[in-house]
A = this chain, B = another copy of it.
């Protein structure tokens, strides 16, 4: 098991700037699982962070090493839940969460790396491995602790059995057309109106039917930028807005109502990701504008309650925030049970590469539809991955490379490892 602290200097271009995150350096706490098999295959995974603290995240991943070393690879790949259970269940590490924050994201990185390895060994892209898996086995991959009041294993099995009907037709459609995306690239808070207009028009030309703007720093600016974007894209393209947790509940309602005349499609992260009751109040206060959240929702227990409380119109999974594929299966099943569409958070470093697999599985074998479902797309840093996402006419093309699309080029690791990669070594030397 190898770990790498990889950081990209994105803050220098204000890429990724929003109301809460003015200067992110997009980073990955990266893990590679190696085996003694002659096939040479490795499992790759990572936690996305935005710079400082990436070293803490790497330390958390490294703390999981004793659970990995010496593990039987075939058994692990046949049952990744066995690893997930051991990691989440480590009674001492559990104190550091439980199931939230740095330690839980570390578990997610390692569990995702195990799934990457399993899919590579199966010679399948992860989405296809999951979509064709036995529903009974899929249910065995889910931890139902704390979920039973909302979803039982029996209900999950029923959803998965029902969800498979028509899989072959949908798989053909997916391979033909891809999965719809939307783009946040035009809407970062640090961009000028000219850049916003240019990128918004480009997004429509590229086939996207939804874009997203960051809001929440200044209402007059938001109104102007919203009008600018609307003028650029026309009435038929959806414009979502994203406050990145900036507001109290009351502020969220007032601000969103002030924007409502410009027809925002959803308001994303209007307040604290921990505030289930707050999201429910916001949703009631801003309808018909939809409420979306999830990129910072820590685990399945909070998603369960957001659904129970009727706090969400759109559920945004993140591939690298919760405890990995196993926990995201639970969350997709909860969303299906409650009939709420899943529109993943992506962007960052490699989040698009990962999460496309989960949405494609959801479409093929669970929700059965792409209606009102879109995967976020941000045009950053894909060049560092060996199998980057391919966007065609506003759609994510189904990846065919075996695995979870998590593998970074060795040259990128060598350049952007912090602080000893070639980029940072030169940069830090230049500052002295």
Task: Give residues in A with beta carbon < 8 Å to B.
Answer: 20-25, 49-53, 55-57, 59-60, 63, 90-105, 145-149, 245, 248-251, 271-278, 281, 296, 298-299, 301-302, 304-305, 308-309
A25 engages B102 (CB within 8 Å):
no
Of the A-B pairs whose beta carbons lie under 8 Å apart in the complex, a sample of 16, sorted by A's number, is A20-B94, A24-B92, A50-B95, A51-B92, A53-B95, A55-B59, A56-B60, A146-B271, A148-B249, A148-B250, A149-B248, A274-B301, A274-B305, A275-B301, A276-B276, A276-B277
* Tally of this chain's copies: 2
A274 engages B302 (CB within 8 Å):
yes
Contact of A98 among B249, B296, B304 (CB under 8 A): B296
Closest to A23 in B: B91
A273 engages B98 (CB within 8 Å):
yes
Contact of A96 among B56, B145, B271 (CB under 8 A): B56
Contact of A305 among B90, B105, B275, B299 (CB under 8 A): B275
Task: Tell me, rounded to whole Å, the shortest Cβ–Cβ distance linking A207 to chain B.
Answer: 31
Closest to A102 in B: B102
Chain B residues lying within 8 Å of A55, measured Cβ to Cβ, are 59, 63
Among the interface residues A53, A98, A99, A309, which one has the most CB atoms of the partner chain B within 10 A?
A53
A53 engages B96 (CB within 8 Å):
yes
Chain B residues lying within 8 Å of A146, measured Cβ to Cβ, are 248-249, 271-272, 274-275, 278
B278 engages A149 (CB within 8 Å):
yes
A250 engages B90 (CB within 8 Å):
no
Task: Tell me, rounded to whole Å, the shortest Cβ–Cβ distance linking A132 to chain B.
Answer: 31
Chain B residues lying within 8 Å of A276, measured Cβ to Cβ, are 276-277, 305
* Complex-state Cα separation, A94 to B301, whole angstroms: 21
18 additional A-B pairs beyond A52-B90, A53-B60, beta carbons within 8 Å, are: A20-B91, A21-B91, A21-B94, A49-B96, A56-B59, A98-B272, A100-B100, A101-B298, A102-B102, A146-B272, A146-B274, A147-B248, A148-B248, A148-B251, A149-B250, A274-B301, A274-B305, A275-B304
